[in-house]
Each structure stands twice: as structure tokens, then as C-alpha cells.
Amino acid sequence: MGDNKNFVKDITNIEEDFAQWYTDIVLKAELADYTDVKGFISIRPYGYAIWENIQKYADKKFKEIGVKNLSMPVLIPESLLNKEKDHVKGFAPEVAWVTEGGENKLEERLCVRPTSETIFCNMYSKWLSSWRDLPFLYNQWCNVLRWEKETRPFLRSREFLWQEGHTIHETAEEAKEFTLKILDIYEEILEKFLSLPVLKGQKTETEKFAGAEATYTVETLMHDGRALQGGTSHYFGQNFAKPFEVKFQNREGKEEYAYQTSWGISTRLIGAIIMAHGDNRGLKLPPQVAPIQVIVVPVAQQKEGVIEKATEITNSLKKEFRTEIDIRDNYTPGYKFNYWEMKGVPIRLEIGPRDIENNQCVLVRRDTLEKENVSLDNVQKRISELLEEIQRNMFEMAKENTIKRTTIAKNMEEFEKNINENQGYVKTMWCGSSECEEKIHELTGAKSRCIPFEQEHIADTCVCCGKPATKMVVWGRQY
């Protein structure tokens, strides 16, 4: 018989050392593990199942608006990467190079894709000829490499999994519209599916994607008040189309360059789920994305009929919910309760001999830890309600944290005070200069998260330089 292990004791206190708490959860909940190569993780089955659920949900949404999947090569010739000047400047410092293949030195270095704009454009220039071919709405689910110096599982890995959508359009208007349509899908994924409230807006010039004309973002706030970029959607205009000669005969019979977008979400979102929702008992998963929605734990399982009844209930629940049963005979029920709380399963169903006598079971919510007795005749319906309630409540809890940690600053004194006390989002007016952005970063460690679509008038002058300002920006320290 294993001991009645208290996982809480094994996990660093969330308020004391958030970074160590995060690492503890990643490893103990078996979401991922380190490998022998720095910055490369293995996403373990429990973590990967979360990613599969995100993929399924997002892929369906993309397909509904006409996006098709394809596959582009993982290696990009150096000459291709070099074609768009801003882009190569942004990415060249952090790529990995293949220089040998099949026992020979290669004539040209090939980089492992850090992102695939260049290779998409190269193929699009071959595939596109007439306005009738447009739009190309293509996406790929794949791995990419970025040779980061500081690495953390999910948040900043040298390899990560993502989807990268790349579209080309007949007109600038259509492309811009599509960029925002994708941003809406990202908002929905974060808010409805992952219970993560978002801040939607446009990145500043300094923070936009290398080579883009405009970058839009959904930002979300973690438990400790740091911000995390949840997904970005870029409008390129013809910035890539021109050097890559992605052109078509337009309706007037003239040659024109295509208008382009790209957009992505990645396994970073798993990091966001952990850091926005988790607590001292461990992971807390929104029901929609949880690999296991209901865990059935029999009590006094050695007693006659208990395992049989628990299995019967499990099998019937399986038809509607992702359900598993824990009948390991070398652990106590107490150990199992802690274990599945640590793994973040939204609902625990306990059932013992007395419950069976009374035709009932106990349901325990992971989000509030509230217990209730439920008749077995009613259990299916009650679980269905609870899962919805937990999904909503987790959003509300994250929203509350965001609101609590959002402040307004009219000058740098207020800015510094607010961010040191609250972390979180700081709203200010901004003159539009990158000098002020840099200065703010130096003074506070915060970067501009975005220029929100929903603007407020906070003051007449820039928080930093005091010059006239009309734009409100939200700032925050980031992951």
C-alpha cells in the first residue's frame, strides 16, 4: 500500500516562487520533461492530449472559414531566408543550421524553419497565376526551431509545435479583414475553450513581427500578473510578395502582387493554461480542453461490488464525457484524490459501499473543491451542468485576477508604483515613439502589450515624455 502522499507538500508554494511552482507542475503532472538537449522538451501524453484538443478545436474553426492544411519542408535554404530584409534580420540570429547531410558537407546551409513565410511565398509564386486562383487559405501544423538563450518548457522552447497559417488575397482589404477574422477565432479559442480572458489589439512598431505591416494580438494575464501573448495575426501587405514575386493577373488583365497574412498559435498555450488557472494543489484544467473530464475513484474498492459498480458508471459516463477510473490497488483513495487534483481533472466522482446502498455518489469540483451528493439517476445531467459551470467559473476567476491587476498611470511615478505593486496590465497614453517604449522598458521591465481596439481616454499626454498623445497602450511584464 502506497502512502497517503500529499502532493501539495511536493509543489512549491505558488505565492512564494511562481517560477519554481510552474516547473513543479510541468514535471509532476507529467505534462512535459526535459531532454538531453537544452531547450528541447518531450511533451508527455497528458500534455500532448491537451495540445490535441486545442488542435481539434482550432482546426475545425479554420476549416469552417475555408482554410486547408498542407505541408511545407522543414528546411529552408539560406538564400531564401535572406530575401526579405526585415524578416532575416529578425530571425537569422536565432536559427539552427543544417550543414551536413548524408555524410557530405552541403553547398548551401539550410536552416530549420523558425517560421515559414519564405518557403510559402516561394511556392505561392509557382502556384499563383490569375485572380481566379485566389485566395490561397493554407495552414500547417508543424514543429519550428528558435535558438533561444533562456528556455522554459512550453513558454520558450527551442523547438515548439504550432500552426502557421499563410494566406494570399486579391486585395488589401480582403487580406486585412482575414487577419482580423483569425484574431476573432483566437479570441474564441482562448476565452471559450481555455477560459482565458483576452486583451485584443495591435502591436506597436517595435513589437510587431519581422517583416509585417501590422501585427494583431490576443494577450492574456497569468496568475502572477505577467502577460502572455496568446496568438498573433499579421498583415504583410506586399512586403514579401514583391521580393518573392508572388504575383497574378488581376481582373483588369494587369500584373499585381498578392496581399498576404500569416498567423499562429502554439504549445505556449499549454503554459498559459498552467499559469493562469493553477493553484497550490496543482494544475486546474478547463473542462473543454481537459484530457480527462471526470475521474472515478472507488472508495473501499476491496469490498464486494464496488469496483463493478464504479466501472459500470464509468462506462456509462464515457459515452458523453472523457472519463477514466482509478482502481490502482497500491494507493489509498486519499492519495488518488490528491493525485487527480494535482493533474487538474475538473470533476472527481467518489463512490463507496455506503453510496451504492443509497444509490448515490459524491462529486467534487476541482475549481472550488466543493462536494455534493448526487443520485445515480441524475449523475449524467449533473456532471454536464457542472462542467459548463466550471468552464465559466474558471473564466470568471481569471477575469477577476485580470481586473484586479489592471491599473491606470498618468506619469512614470504612478507607472512604476503600479507595476511594482500589482504586476499586471498598466494602461497609459502614449505618444507613439519607440524611444518612450524603450525608456519605459528600462525603467519598469514592462513592454507594450498592444494598442487595444477598445480605446479609453486616460489623459492628454504621453505617460513617458509628456508630449500630446491620443493612443492608449497597455503595458506589462511578459513571459
Among residues 3, 4, 28, the alpha carbon closest in space to that of 281 is found at 28
- 101 belongs to the binding site for a second copy (CB under 8 A): yes
How far are the Cα atoms of 112, 208, 217 from residue 470, in angstroms, in the given order?
A: 42, 20, 20
Amino acid 328 reads: R
Question: At closest approach, how far in Å is the CB of 124 from a second copy?
Answer: 10
Cβ atoms of residues 363 and 349 within 8 Å: yes
- 43 belongs to the binding site for a second copy (CB under 8 A): yes
- 112 belongs to the binding site for a second copy (CB under 8 A): yes
> What is the biggest distance separating any 2 CA atoms in the chain, rounded to whole angstroms?
81
Question: What is the residue whose three cell numbers read 518557403?
Answer: 119
Question: At closest approach, how far in Å is the CB of 48 from a second copy?
Answer: 5
- Of 158-166, 309-317, 339-347, 421-429, the window that binds a second copy (rule: CB under 8 A) is 158-166
Grid coordinates representing 434 are 519607440
Return the residue of 62, 84, 88, 122 that touches a second copy, per CB under 8 A: 122
Nearer to a second copy, 47 or 201 (CB): 47
Question: At closest approach, how far in Å is the CB of 422 from a second copy?
Answer: 35
Question: At closest approach, how far in Å is the CB of 184 from a second copy?
Answer: 23
Instruction: Report the C-alpha gap between 14 and 19 in whole angstroms.
Output: 8
Instruction: Report the C-alpha gap between 330 and 1 in whole angstroms.
Output: 5
Q: DSSP letters of 225-293?
A: S-EEEEEEEEEEETTTHHHHT-EEE-TTS-EEE-EEEEEEEETHHHHHHHHHH-BTTB----TTT-S-S
Nearer to a second copy, 94 or 396 (CB): 94
Return the residue of 60, 255, 304, 330 that touches a second copy, per CB under 8 A: 330
Nearer to a second copy, 139 or 215 (CB): 139
Instruction: Report the C-alpha gap between 379 and 347 in whole angstroms.
Output: 12
Cβ atoms of residues 453 and 200 within 8 Å: yes
Question: At closest approach, how far in Å is the CB of 127 from a second copy?
Answer: 8
Question: At closest approach, how far in Å is the CB of 117 from a second copy?
Answer: 14
Among residues 186, 185, 194, the alpha carbon closest in space to that of 390 is found at 194
Nearer to a second copy, 83 or 392 (CB): 83
Cα 16 off chain centre by: 25
Nearer to a second copy, 122 or 293 (CB): 122
Size of residue set near a second copy by CB under 8 A: 58
- 90 belongs to the binding site for a second copy (CB under 8 A): no
Return the residue of 82, 125, 143, 455 that touches a second copy, per CB under 8 A: 143
- 65 belongs to the binding site for a second copy (CB under 8 A): no
**Residue 360, SS3?**
strand
- Of 8-16, 87-95, 236-244, 382-390, the window that binds a second copy (rule: CB under 8 A) is 87-95
**Residue 197, SS3?**
coil
Nearer to a second copy, 25 or 119 (CB): 119
Residues forming the site for a second copy (CB under 8 A): 33, 35-37, 40-45, 47-49, 51-52, 68-75, 77, 80, 92-103, 109-110, 112, 119, 122-123, 126-127, 132, 138, 142-143, 145, 147-149, 158-159, 161, 328, 330
